[in-house]
Amino acid sequence: MKLNFRKKKRENKKKKQAVIPLRLNVLFFVIFILFSILILRLGVVQIVQGDTYKRQLEETDNVEVTKNMPRGVIYDRNYNLLVGNTAVNSITYTRSQQTPTSETLQVAQKLNNLITVEPEKLTERDLQDYWILTHEQESLSRLSTKEQQLDASDAYKKQVEKVTDADLQTLNDTDMKVATIFKKMTTGYAMTESTVKNKDVTDEEIARVSENMEELPGVDTTTDWNRFYTYDQTLRSVLGSVSSAKEGLPKEKADYYLSQGYSRNDRVGKSYLEEQYESVLAGQKSKSESVLDQQGNIIETVQKYEGSKGKDLVLSIDVEFQQAVDEIIKNNIKKGKGYSGSDLLDRAFVVAMDPYSGQVLALSGQQLNDEGGFDDFALGNFTTAYNMGSAVKGATVLGGMMSGAISDDQVFVDQPIYLKGTPTKSSWFNRTGAGNRALDTVGALEISSNSYMYQTAMKMGGANYVPHGPLNAPLDTFDKMRYYYNQFGLGVKTGIDLPGERGAYPSTDDTIGKILDFAIGQYDPYTTLQMAQYVSTVANGGSRIAPTMVKEIRNPSNVGDTVGTIATSSKPKVLNKVGATDSEIDLVKKGFYQVTHGSDGTARTVFTTEGYDVAGKTGTAQGFYDGPKESSKMAPVWNTTFVGYAPTDKPEIAIAVVVPWEYRDGDGYTDSKINMSISKEVFDKYFELKQNRAKENKDTSNVNQPINNKDKVTEAQAKAKAENK
């Protein structure tokens, strides 16, 4: 038994030994097959597809990078620099299309240790995004399993919703600074330069950032620009403003600018001249091509276009004349405030322009502020409108002639007008009828006859005047009169190259008797600029020319002390020719001349300066106060005006002067007549400057034209730099 057992044990052992080599052989065979497949695959990859994979490995992307260039500057007509650029240190950031948000955050954190940035007012969403970015795992853990399965956008919305006020309160001052930097870095598009800091950037900060540039991918130290104004507040409201790097594109116009190729953080003109001439003043961005590898790293950058500074504007404004007119207005307002009933007087306006070219020589408006000083209110010349009074009577008589209602030799008896159910209406000098007299057109303008204008308006309405009878004229007489007034620019936009101009704001009281008030300038309101265009149309013989603020556009200068070459020059833009004959216009010119020279002229004692002759028309309009003093709203007041031109034979300058609410209407209140003193002083200053400059005989040729106020520019630049530190 024992022998049999040993025999079986030996047989089992032999069987096991036979099985093991078989399994090893199978294993080795499988390994052999796998190695064969691997070798075959490697062969295919290396031999058959090797070139393809090599190309993919070496494949790069070429991405265009743009940088802003300095804005064009603004000169006056005599090449005095009004608005310029001053260079400032700037720290910028440009992210690639593949830059992960986490990397941008890391760069922001490093920058915070190198530069000083004051925390800005961040939105709740800004803070929520920052908290999520700095607490990524905690934020994700708050999502339910179902929420985690949402697409990325919806899942992130859930993350934002789960950020609590308590979470945001954990953010300290350092977090707020980093969040501010981070927001600036992520403003705008990829591969577009964003400004991180361009105010109060010290040389030490520039040095620290430059030394650590390898650890700050996308960061650069460069030079930015800020606007400075050589003459402080002179014409400041009309020059306009430029958005800051923080503001970028104005929200209301962002879509327009984006469609023009701008980036969201680009600086653009926000108002008036800066906005109107944005396409001229904006520089052409520099363009570089960056080569990126598959990970989005920049391999090299090649400049394709170095960019160019924006073109320069040469305004039609004469800054020396403008400043003088500003002072004339201020001094006369102070003078007017010394008269009784002048408590509502707080502003005055002057427009001076070349009646043949439409070039605006001065656009002046001054307004008293609560501290007793003055603020520039040049905008008021085309954004505010007032009843202008008798200054519009030239348009009334020409409208009557053009419509065929009166003839050029028309004579009316100046007499009080009695209409049924209406208070007596008369000329200022003939209240009772004791001074009745026959007047032709010239005489009516000289003496400023209201009665003549009333009768002209009735004729335009097809009504025959019957004392104490009704006024039988159709309501469309208002439209008829406006049609002729519009031909001179009254009640319509003048076409000036500035945004925000006020056009027609016709009065709405359709009582037919109001056509009489219309005829003497006490119905529809007009702007000072419309009045200047109207008198210019008379002065030049009947062409309504669009006012322009720009005389030339010049190419950027390559030399700091000279102006660039001319790109384009402005040409007169004739909007329409009035439908009056030369002889009819000449009658109005004669009437305007008699106003300042005739024995009965309403301005016969004003323009006594030798060397030039003035023709024009005075105006006084009864109105109602609608200014800033709420307690005096609708108080009865008098506006005073003047329109005129000089010299009378071939006018060089036409002006409109408007003094709203000069004095209250009532007994004991006095007309200071500052509309007339302003007008005389403006004409005197214009011809004084002309005479002085003729003696200087300055060369204003187009070649190497020097900047004429270099000392003031240097002073203004230094002041601007000091304010930026």
Pick the closest to residue 489 from 385, 380, 349, 348 (CA basis). Answer: 385
Report the relative pairing of strands 74-75 and 312-315 from DSSP bridges: parallel
Strand-strand pairing, 412-414 and 219-229:
unpaired
How far is the C-alpha of 442 from the C-alpha of 575, rounded, in Å?
Answer: 27
81-93 vs 219-229, strand pairing mode: antiparallel
Three-point CA angle 681, 686, 692, nearest 5°: 120
For residue 337, the cross-strand partners are none
Q: Return all residues near 432 (Cβ < 8 A) that are at least 6 apart.
A: 416
The question of whether 390 is a catalytic residue gets the answer: yes
- Token pair 């402080």 is at which residue? 232
Q: Cα separations (Å) of 145 from 138, 140, 150?
A: 14, 10, 9
**Amino acid (one-letter) located at 52:** T
Q: Is residue 32 within a helix (H) or strand (E), and if so which, with residue range?
A: helix 2-43
Buried b (16+ CB within 10 A) or exposed e, 602-625: bbeebbeeeebbbbbbbbbbebeb
**Residues in CB range of 460: below 8 A, 6 or more apart:** 399, 400, 403, 405, 477, 480, 481, 515
Euclidean distance between CA atoms 323 and 420, whole angstroms: 52
Q: Is the peptide bond before 647 cis (omega within 30 degrees of 0)?
A: yes
**Closest Cα partner for 312 from 572, 497, 548, 566?**
566
Which ranges constitute the DSSP H helices of 505-655? 514-519, 528-539, 582-597
**CA separation for the pair 679, 568 (Å, rounded):** 33
Q: Where are the beta strands (DSSP E) in 435-594?
A: 437-439, 543-545, 550-554, 566-569, 574-577
Identify the CA nearest to 99 among candidates 89, 108, 111, 91.
108
- CB-based burial of residue 210 (10 Å sphere; 0-12 exposed, 13-18 middle, 19+ buried)? middle
Given the residues 390, 449, 536, 679, the one annotated as active site: 390
Rounded to whole angstroms, the Cα distance separating 451 from 460 reads 14
Closest by alpha carbon to 75, among 709, 718, 711?
709
| Residues that are catalytic | 390
